[in-house]
Amino acid sequence: MEPIVNEFSQVNDDSVEKEKAQITNIIVFETTGTLLLIYGALATETNFGVALVYFIGLVVCGRLSGGYFNPICTLIGYIDGSISKKKAIYYVGAQTVAGLIAGMLLMPMFAYKQTLPYFERLPSHQVFGTMMSEIAGSIIFFTFIQIQTAENTKITSTPVQSAIFVSVIYFVARQYTATMGNSLFNPSAAFGLQLFYGIYYGKWDQMVNLLMYILGPWIGALLAITFFWKIYTPTLVSKQSN
């Protein structure tokens, strides 16, 4: 989704000024939306609560920034041609900054919770389970993100319908796969939260699985993207031509 120019950005028709306004929206609202999503995961204790906060973020911030909130979703948008390389860099930067801010300011308020994202009692004992959980959930979530991002396969048409659809898929993916560490399938969130958990509390053993929380979503996403372009799209085109 291309970020729009909001009512607070009064610009003329000059494309350079319009692009500057769009980049400003990406920086401000993508950071805010990503922070809201991470806050939802920290504050709520159910997958439904996280999905609901995700929906709110997509509706409130997504219409102004594009609503990717995840470096992998940004990659999917870039591959599909929905966003340029320049804007993709700003998206990833905003998402990474949001993850660091969340780890620095939000995570300490919820560090006592057993449902803290990416926290595991026995981190080094569940490496395989963590990796499989991350890959499985990411395949489910990012497959449907890819389907919803591409214009020719999009399931819903309006922004609100899209927000509902994405939130429901996120709920399903987390409900049935994110059993290890309450993952968000978001490398930026994983890095920021685990980094500052180690800095604040000295429990660097939690960093053992950081590689799993970063690699798992990327592996799952690459499998999802490959499935979409090599199997799903050709099959869809073949059925439509017949």
pLDDT average, residue stretch 63-90: 94
Q: For residue 141, which phi and psi values (nearest 5 degrees)?
A: -65, -50
pLDDT average, residue stretch 73-97: 95
- Integer Cα distance of 96 and 238 in angstroms: 40
More confident residue, 149 or 118: 149
The pLDDT of residue 122 is 58
- Asked whether the CA dihedral 79, 84, 88, 91 is positive or negative, the reply is negative
**Minimum mean pLDDT among 21-25, 28-32, 121-125, 233-237: which range?**
121-125
The pLDDT of residue 5 is 41
pLDDT band at 7 (very low <50, low <70, confident <90, very high): very low
Asked if pLDDT for residue 99 goes beyond 90, the answer is yes
Instruction: Spell out the residues 6+ positions from residue 190 whose beta carbon is closer than 8 angstroms to its own.
Output: 99, 117, 118, 183, 184, 210, 213, 214
Task: Specify the residue for token string 């939000």.
Answer: 106
pLDDT band at 124 (very low <50, low <70, confident <90, very high): low
- Integer Cα distance of 142 and 123 in angstroms: 25
pLDDT band at 108 (very low <50, low <70, confident <90, very high): very high
pTM, rounded to two decimals:
0.88
The 10s digit of each residue's pLDDT in 174-224 is 998 866 567 899 999 999 999 999 899 887 877 777 888 899 999 999 999
Length of the chain equals 242
Rounded to the nearest 5 degrees, what angle is found at the Cα of 64, between the Cα atoms of 170 and 12? 160
pLDDT average, residue stretch 151-175: 93
More confident residue, 4 or 120: 120
Rounded mean pLDDT of the chain?
88
Amino acid sitting at position 142: F
More confident residue, 48 or 202: 48
The percent of residues above 90 in pLDDT, for the chain, comes to: 64
Give the closest residue to 2 by CA, choosing from 65, 46, 93, 74. 65
